[in-house]
Structure 1
Amino acid sequence: MNMREEASAAGEPLLEVAPASRRVGSATWAQTLGNIVVSVVGTGMLGLPYAFRIAGWLAGSLGVAIAGLTTLYCMILLIECREKLEEKNGSVYIQSYGDLGAEAFGRTGRYLTELLVLVAQAGGAVAYLIFIGQNLSSLLNDTSKHPISPVIFIFLLLLPLEIALSFIRSLSTLAPFSALADACNILAMAIVIKEDFQLFNSFSTRKAFGEVWGLPFTAGVAVFCFEGFSMTLPLEASMTNRRQFRWVLSLAFTGITLAYILFGIFGYLAYGEDTKDIITLNLPQNWSSATVKVGLCVALLFTFPIMMHPIHDIIESRLKSSGWFQKLSYNVRCAECVGLYGARIIMVMLLATVASFIPGFGSFVSFVGSTLCALLSFVLPAAFHLTFMGSSLNIWRRALDYCILLVGVVFAGHGTYAAISGH
Structure 2
Amino acid sequence: IYVGLGLLAQPYALQRGGWVVLVFMGLCGLMCAYTGKLVVKCFANMDMTEYMSRGGATWSNLADYLIGPYGQAVVTLLTVTEFFGAGCMAMLMTWRNVAALVPGAEMKWIAVGVTCLVIPSLMLESFGDLAIFSLLGAVAKLLTATLPVIIYCFWKGPAENAAPQYDYVNHETLPMALGVIMLAYSAHACLPSVYNSMEHPKQFPLVVVAAFACMFLMYGVMGGFGYLVFGNTVSPVITQDAADAAQLPWEQALVTTVLCLVSWATYSTTVPVVAVLTDFVSPLV
Shorter-normalised TM range: 0.7 to 0.9
C-alpha deviation, 1:242, in angstroms:
1.4
Give the 3-state SS of the residue equivalent to 2:168 in structure 1.
Answer: coil
Matches for 1:5-16 after TM superposition, within 5 Å? none
Query: What corresponds to 2:135 in structure 1?
Result: 179
Query: What corresponds to 1:77 in structure 2?
Result: 38
Q: RMSD of the TM alignment (CA)?
A: 2.3
Once the two structures are superposed, what CA deviation does each residue of 1:380-403 show, in whole Å capped at 9, x if it has no partner?
A: xxxxxxxxxxxxxxxxxxxxxxxx
| Letter aligned with residue 70 of structure 1 | M
Alignment partners' CA distance in 1, 2:106 and 2:19 = 33
* Among candidates 99, 103, 108, match of residue 65 of structure 2: 103
Query: What corresponds to 2:249 in structure 1?
Result: none
Alignment partners' CA distance in 2, 1:95 and 1:247 = 19
Contact 2:2–2:184, Cα closer than 8 Å, also in 1: yes
Contact 1:135–1:281, Cα closer than 8 Å, also in 2: no
C-alpha deviation, 1:74, in angstroms:
1.0
Unaligned 5+ runs, structure 1: 1-38, 320-423
Task: Say whether 1:159 aligns with 2:159.
Answer: no
Contact 2:142–2:218, Cα closer than 8 Å, also in 1: no
Matches for 1:50-129 after TM superposition, within 5 Å? 50-58=12-20, 60-86=21-47, 93=52, 94-129=56-91
Query: What corresponds to 1:49 in structure 2?
Result: 11
How many percent identity over aligned positions? 21
Alignment partners' CA distance in 1, 2:50 and 2:119 = 36
Once the two structures are superposed, what CA deviation does each residue of 1:73-126 show, in whole Å capped at 9, x if it has no partner?
A: 11111111122223xx76655420111111122112111111121121122222
Query: What corresponds to 2:181 in structure 1?
Result: 222
| Letter aligned with residue 74 of structure 1 | T
Alignment partners' CA distance in 2, 1:204 and 1:302 = 34
Alignment partners' CA distance in 2, 1:112 and 1:48 = 32
Of the two structures, which has the highest relative contact order with CA contacts closer than 8 Å and spacing of 6 or more? 2
Give the 3-state SS of the residue equivalent to 1:40 in structure 2.
Answer: coil
Contact 1:48–1:263, Cα closer than 8 Å, also in 2: yes
Pair 1:266–1:140, CA change in 2 (3 A): same
Alignment partners' CA distance in 2, 1:171 and 1:127 = 21
Alignment partners' CA distance in 2, 1:101 and 1:90 = 15
Contact 1:47–1:279, Cα closer than 8 Å, also in 2: yes
* Among candidates 138, 144, 150, match of residue 188 of structure 1: 144
Contact 1:47–1:277, Cα closer than 8 Å, also in 2: yes
Query: What corresponds to 2:273 in structure 1?
Result: 307
| Letter aligned with residue 134 of structure 1 | R
Alignment partners' CA distance in 2, 1:162 and 1:168 = 11
Task: Say whether 1:292 aligns with 2:258.
Answer: yes
Query: What corresponds to 2:282 in structure 1?
Result: 316
Alignment partners' CA distance in 2, 1:287 and 1:224 = 30
Query: What corresponds to 1:134 in structure 2?
Result: 96
| Letter aligned with residue 207 of structure 1 | D
Alignment partners' CA distance in 2, 1:67 and 1:112 = 26
Task: Say whether 1:267 aligns with 2:226.
Answer: yes
| Letter aligned with residue 126 of structure 2 | S
Task: Say whether 1:231 aligns with 2:190.
Answer: yes
Contact 2:13–2:180, Cα closer than 8 Å, also in 1: yes
Contact 1:136–1:153, Cα closer than 8 Å, also in 2: yes
Contact 2:59–2:189, Cα closer than 8 Å, also in 1: yes
TM-score, reference length from structure 2: 0.87
Contact 1:85–1:92, Cα closer than 8 Å, also in 2: no
Contact 1:136–1:150, Cα closer than 8 Å, also in 2: no
C-alpha deviation, 1:61, in angstroms:
0.9
C-alpha deviation, 1:204, in angstroms:
8.8
| Letter aligned with residue 154 of structure 1 | A
Alignment partners' CA distance in 2, 1:75 and 1:257 = 15
Pair 1:54–1:213, CA change in 2 (3 A): same
Q: Which one has a bigger Cα radius of gyration?
A: 1
Alignment partners' CA distance in 1, 2:233 and 2:96 = 18
Unaligned 5+ runs, structure 2: 247-251
| Letter aligned with residue 85 of structure 1 | M
C-alpha deviation, 1:299, in angstroms:
2.1
Pair 1:152–1:218, CA change in 2 (3 A): farther
Give the 3-state SS of the residue equivalent to 1:69 in structure 2.
Answer: helix
Alignment partners' CA distance in 2, 1:91 and 1:132 = 40
Alignment partners' CA distance in 2, 1:127 and 1:95 = 26
